[in-house]
Amino acid sequence: MHYIRLLRPPNVVHAVKAPSRPGQGGSSLGLVLTITTDLGESFLCPDEPIRLAVELFVDTVEKQVDKVEDEVNESGDDGEGTYENEMPPPKEIVRTHIFELPLMAPSTAPAGKAGKGGKPSKAAAAAGGDASSWRAGMRVLKAEAKLSKDAEACLWGSHSSRSPTAILKRRICIRTADKKLSATCTKQLVETKSGGNGYDDGLIMPLWVDVPETADETFPHVALRQLLLDDDVAAKAGDKSKAAASVEVEEEIGESIARHVWDAGLTQKQNKTLRVLELGSGVGILGIGLAAIVQEASRRGSAAATAEEGNAIFLLTDLPEAEEHARTNMARSGSTSLDYENLDWEDGRQGHFGPAVAGDSDGNDNAWDLVVLSDCTYNVDMLPALVETLTALPSKSDTKGAKKPSVLLARKPRHASEEALFSLMTDHGWTVRANSTVPLSVLDGDAQVVELYLYEMA
């Protein structure tokens, strides 16, 4: 799996001279992006150039008043018919306007000075002027997404007073031009196919960014990832009566690894449970995905939903630097079953937990049925603290006595030193009850896997 990432927020680039063609806008969006693995340790190196595409989505709410014909009122006291012309309340209609934004070589030099006459900079010319494709050997792609006149008007222009319009959402999506290469639903991530959609050739995760309300405002320093929970729902997306259930999380623009989406967190979302504690949640893709699946299963009346969302608890934990984005994504999901608490494993190994992890104020048994963690083994120096934190978690009481929660661990093997985890788990009394692997194909190399392990205390 590879990810399109922005290295800095987009910026509005105003044209040096007036548009030369009718319908051509005067502005573009400057982009500096890369395509890497989740950890960012390697860049995509495809056999053939991969074309990229940028789309602008503007959701508007338009008030529409239905025309009402005059009707004769036969009950007038004067014996003559009178006309009634009461207008019904206006209807609110949500429309999505989609614009394709052609990718062009940047018209400004790295220092921010425009090229002569608005021509591409020397750096862009040296790159062959092709800013729409990612090629082998690239580490950064600089480009401008050109706004048409209609796109600019819809994005920042005024609207007719006869049909008052409010803008709900402005977003751009950066993806592969070939939609078969874009990871858009969870089923793509846990299944491989030959031919057809070509999942076995690898996928690239698109990126979404909110556009500010005016051209003079700066773009946010966060981007968004979206995944449909069911590709059957995706196929029915044309049916407006059926909203596609999805997970949406934000991540930080730039190169921070703690505030990005990771591979194992994506593939593990197919599991469901009732009381879940997540360690090392990062931006929250795993815990939020689990909550969304339980909620959607309950909505559909599936037998897999063993409880209503209000009785399910998903507690995300991580270091303080991950809290802001995790809480923002929890709020964005709209789920009431999610909570967050900071947890440093150096404290956890000593049995020092916050009130949410340790227990509730009502004195009820608040031990966890399941602990989940994904891609938390890459830093081998923290493995002892991680294992000791798992061992120190409160036990759950049942008819057979106290029992530690089960642990579902997902990891993408990166280097041999991570194998120390397994001996540490064994030394602390943990036993593997089940394990599996999920193929994780990549476009530019040998297939990788995500390993899943279900541990229980012996």
- Residue 288 forms part of a structural domain: yes
Answer yes or no: do 186 and 304 share one domain: no
For 52-61, the pLDDT digits (tens) are 999 999 988 8
Question: Any idea what the Cα angle at residue 64 is, between residues 60 and 68, rounded to 5°?
Answer: 170
Answer yes or no: do 284 and 384 share one domain: yes
Q: Report DSSP letters for 25-57, one per residue.
A: EEEEEEEEEEEE-SSSSSB---SS-EEEEEEEE
* Domain boundary, last residue among 207, 229, 255: 255
Answer yes or no: do 219 and 289 share one domain: no
Answer yes or no: do 325 and 251 share one domain: no
Answer yes or no: do 281 and 247 share one domain: no
Instruction: State the DSSP H helix or E strand holding residue 203, giving kind and residue range, or none if neither.
Output: none
- Residue 411 forms part of a structural domain: yes
Average pLDDT, the chain: 77
Answer yes or no: do 390 and 400 share one domain: yes
- Residue 78 forms part of a structural domain: no
- Taking the CA of residue 96 as centre, how many other CA atoms within 13 Å lie in the half-sphere pointing to its CB? 8
Q: What is the DSSP letter of 179?
A: G
CA atoms of 14 and 379, how far apart (whole Å): 44
Cβ atoms < 10 Å from Cβ of 328 = 15
* Domain boundary, last residue among 255, 273, 294: 255
Q: What is the pLDDT of residue 385?
A: 97
- Give the closest residue to 260 by CA, choosing from 315, 318, 181: 318
CA atoms of 252 and 224, how far apart (whole Å): 9
- Residue 443 forms part of a structural domain: yes
Q: Could you tell me which residues come within 8 angstroms of residue 187 by beta carbon, excluding any fewer than 6 positions away? A: 230, 231
Q: Who has greater pLDDT, 212 or 312?
A: 212
CA atoms of 238 and 232, how far apart (whole Å): 11
- Residue 162 forms part of a structural domain: no
| Listed range (100-109, 322-331, 335-344, 362-371) with the worst mean pLDDT | 362-371
Beta-sheet strands, E only, within 37-124: 50-64, 71-73, 82-84, 91-101, 103-104
* Total structural domains within the chain: 2
Answer yes or no: do 287 and 235 share one domain: no
The highest-confidence range among 183-197, 246-260, 435-449, by mean pLDDT, is: 435-449
Would the pLDDT of 254 be above 80?
no
- Residue 83 forms part of a structural domain: no
Answer yes or no: do 208 and 298 share one domain: no
Can you give the residue range of the structural domain that contains 435? Answer: 256-458
- Residue 63 forms part of a structural domain: no
- Residue 71 forms part of a structural domain: no
Would the pLDDT of 6 be above 50?
yes
The two structure tokens encoding residue 56: 């602008």
Average pLDDT over residues 305-330: 79
CA distances from 31 to 2, 110, 182, 251 (A): 18, 12, 19, 17
CA atoms of 110 and 123, how far apart (whole Å): 8
Answer yes or no: do 234 and 204 share one domain: yes
Answer yes or no: do 197 and 313 share one domain: no
Report residue 303's pLDDT band, with 50, 70 and 90 as the boundaries.
Answer: very low
* Domain boundary, last residue among 255, 274, 299: 255
For 71-116, the pLDDT digits (tens) are 545 554 555 555 455 666 777 788 899 999 999 998 754 434 444 4
CA atoms of 284 and 268, how far apart (whole Å): 12
Answer yes or no: do 244 and 310 share one domain: no
Answer yes or no: do 347 and 399 share one domain: yes
